[in-house]
Structure 1
Amino acid sequence: MDHPGDEGNTAVANVMAADAAGRLLHCVVEQSIRIQGQDYGLLSPVDTPAHLCRWPDDSSAEPELIADPHQYPQVLDQLDMILQDEGLVLVRSAGLLTVAGDLDNVALDIDPGMDWDGAEAAMDASDLLHQVGATDDDDLDTYVLLASACQEGTDFGLYGSLNPCFLLARLGPGAAELLMPDELAQLQPLVEEALAHDEEVCP
């Protein structure tokens, strides 16, 4: 990774971010900020962020977002096989699932403004950016159904996000470490303050 710069540096650098389980996520460092002497980076995944959802028996209900998709390895295996037929690869990466490959030639079912029921995913830096820079006129998140699978009578769907996704990570020499949800919650006020003084990072 290129070394993290001073606060406000917008130079693009690639980094492999790791989570507590040792999984990796290939990211671009969109912005670096310094908080209490520590460098943090706003990272965006190189590949398409994806979310695993479970469909309830009620066909009129919204899908339930699964906070920890890694607890369904067999479902992920099925989805990966389906994606490979489209020239895509499901990456069980750090922080969130991602899908590698070109989506341009894939027939996608676009669903603007998807509402998730049930468990909520851990807040990422996208939420902080929205709180600081978004307005009521901003577009709703847009998702596409990339693949679906059935496991033991339960239907699952893998949705890709077409909106920018940002994760907050602690930057170190040649590496980045994704923050745990409790760490992110503690840093939230300081991150919001830092972002409010640097409007150019807001989408």
Structure 2
Amino acid sequence: MDENETEMDAETVVLTDDAGRKIACTVERFIEVEEQDYALLVPVDAPVEIFAWQGETDDDEEAIPVESDEEIDVLFPIAKAVLEEQNLTLKRTAVVLTVEGDLPDLEDEDEFIEITSETDEEDVEELQLLARFYRDEKEFAVYAPLDPFFILARMDANNQPRLLLPEELEKLQPLLADIEDQLFDDFDAN
């Protein structure tokens, strides 16, 4: 696998998904793999996730990410209203939900959670609590990742980013992991 990496100034591009949703991103790095150009992107606005809290008692509660478009469509207006109380604007963007506005400072340990990957116990994601809300007596929360959120896109003939097909992403995952580790180190140094 031939790879060449080039660092660029923060160029902004717009990525569009199959549903026509758009997300503005900065280009962190261009990468060439097997004569195909790719871009590693970071959303301009802060990415967020909605989680459902499930469990019988406080001791066995678990945060489960809401991933289905249908459920997100139902929860979106409620989450949007709750976040507006904090001067944050929730957006239904491509790839991931985002919020526009200044995220609050992380002041209390109760304001973040750690989610462990189901496939890799060493892969722990820290998330900052932005808001809680209820729907049909079920608790939900909106969290923002504390680490940068990367999107890998294929560059087309017009030099526009395109979302990867699942098989493309799977093929590039080992390369992406190495690049993400390097970029996390770069972000931590700044």
Point out which structure has higher relative CO (alpha carbons under 8 A, 6+ apart): 1
Do they superpose with TM above 0.5? yes
Match of 2:24 among 23, 26, 38: 26
Cα distance in 2 between the residues matched to 1:113 and 1:96? 19
> What does 1:94-173 align with in structure 2 at a 5 Å threshold?
94-104=94-104, 109-115=110-116, 141-172=125-156, 173=158
Cα distance in 2 between the residues matched to 1:160 and 1:80? 14
Secondary structure in structure 1 of the residue aligned to 2:149: coil
Higher strand share: 2
In the other structure, the counterpart of 1:13 is 11
In the other structure, the counterpart of 2:71 is 71
Match of 1:38 among 30, 36, 39: 36
Letter in 1 for 2:53: W
* Residue 177 in structure 1 maps to residue 175 in structure 2: no
Q: CA 1:56 to 1:44, structure 2 compared with 1: closer, same or farther past 3 Å? A: same
Listed one character per residue, the Cα deviations across residues 109-168 of structure 1 (whole Å, up to 9, x for unaligned) are 532533478xx9xxxxxx9xxxxxxxx8x9x53211112222222221111112111110
Q: CA 1:63 to 1:177, structure 2 compared with 1: closer, same or farther past 3 Å? A: same
Q: Gaps spanning 5+ residues in structure 1: where?
A: 1-5, 121-126, 128-135
Listed one character per residue, the Cα deviations across residues 94-118 of structure 1 (whole Å, up to 9, x for unaligned) are 111111101147977532533478x
C-alpha contact 2:45 2:98 (8 A) present in aligned 1: yes
Cα distance in 2 between the residues matched to 1:190 and 1:145? 31
C-alpha contact 2:46 2:144 (8 A) present in aligned 1: yes
Q: CA 1:200 to 1:111, structure 2 compared with 1: closer, same or farther past 3 Å? A: closer
Letter in 2 for 1:111: F
* Residue 48 in structure 1 maps to residue 46 in structure 2: yes
Q: Gaps spanning 5+ residues in structure 2: where?
A: 186-190
Query: C-alpha displacement at 1:30, in angstroms?
Result: 0.1
In the other structure, the counterpart of 1:84 is 84
CA RMSD of aligned residues (A): 3.1
C-alpha contact 1:53 1:158 (8 A) present in aligned 2: yes
Q: Percent identity?
A: 31
After TM superposition, the score normalised by the length of structure 1 is 0.73
Q: CA 1:104 to 1:153, structure 2 compared with 1: closer, same or farther past 3 Å? A: closer
Cα distance in 2 between the residues matched to 1:181 and 1:24? 19
Q: CA 1:106 to 1:187, structure 2 compared with 1: closer, same or farther past 3 Å? A: closer
